[in-house]
Amino acid sequence: MANLSCHFPIFGPLLVCAFITLSLTSTEALKPKVARLQFYMHDVVQGPNRTAVRVAGPSPDDQSTLMNSTGLNPFAAFFGPVFVMDNPLTTAPDRGSALVGRAQGIYIHASQQNEFSLHMTLTYMFVSGPYNGSSFSVVGRNPVMGEDRELPIVGGTGMFRLARGYCLLETHSMDGMNAVVGYNATVIHY
């Protein structure tokens, strides 16, 4: 561009103006926004209409070796299984309340010591409201019996393109192994 204005000095100021306008527009577009979303996730692993299914896990032999080698540690009994889930997200704890999205992906029973904990790789996609069609993705550790749980948001699509943030989770209710989990997500996006 320096070359251009040398050859055609008369366009110099015009070009500079164009650049200032362009860079103002892109700075405006890159100003981060903060979205706060509250929703409830329904994880049904037992009974009819399951939303999460086990797709792989250790053999019974592996499992008894693990349990024996960790001194009959009860957590070792849960270590290893891989689940695929497609859990509905609703506005309220009631399963019949308005559907806002779905959480889809994989979770793995990834702890064999001290506590029952999952590794989660999930995409939360929204199907209504201002974020309809957008999604954010989460990768992290979820000690499901803990009081305060937090999962990092590592990216997103649509309105949530380039997102980062975090989800705070708490179990709202349990029915056997089926759970309703409350989420407060804070999403920084552009």
Ligand X SMILES: *[C@@H]1O[C@H](CO)[C@@H](O)[C@H](O)[C@H]1NC(C)=O
Output the CA–CA distances (angstroms, integers) from residue 8 to 11, 17, 18, 187, in the order listed. 6, 15, 15, 47
| Shortest distance (Å) from residue 162 CB to ligand X | 21
Which one, 25 or 128, has the nearer CB to ligand X?
A: 128
Listed residue (170, 84, 99, 110) closest to 185, CA to CA:
170
Which one, 12 or 80, has the nearer CB to ligand X?
A: 80
- Which ranges in the chain belong to alpha helices (H)? 2-7, 12-29, 60-69
In the three-class reduction of DSSP (H, G, I as helix; E, B as strand; rest coil), residue 59 is classed as coil
| Shortest distance (Å) from residue 52 CB to ligand X | 14
Which one, 94 or 170, has the nearer CB to ligand X?
A: 170
CA atoms lying within 13 Å on the CB side of residue 74: 2
Query: What backbone torsions phi and psi does residue 137 show, to the nearest 5 degrees?
Result: -115, 150
Question: Looking at the chain, how many residues does it have?
Answer: 190
Output the CA–CA distances (angstroms, integers) from residue 185 to 12, 95, 114, 141, 165, in the order listed. 48, 19, 28, 16, 7
| Shortest distance (Å) from residue 4 CB to ligand X | 43
| Shortest distance (Å) from residue 88 CB to ligand X | 11
Which one, 25 or 184, has the nearer CB to ligand X?
A: 184
Which one, 48 or 176, has the nearer CB to ligand X?
A: 48
| Shortest distance (Å) from residue 36 CB to ligand X | 9
Q: Interface with ligand X by CB under 6 A: which residues?
A: 38, 48-49, 61, 64-65, 68, 127-128, 132-133, 168-170, 182, 184
On whether the CB atoms of residues 41 and 126 are closer than 8 A, the answer is: no
Which one, 106 or 168, has the nearer CB to ligand X?
A: 168
| Shortest distance (Å) from residue 19 CB to ligand X | 36
CA–CA gap between residue 36 and residue 39 (Å, rounded)? 10
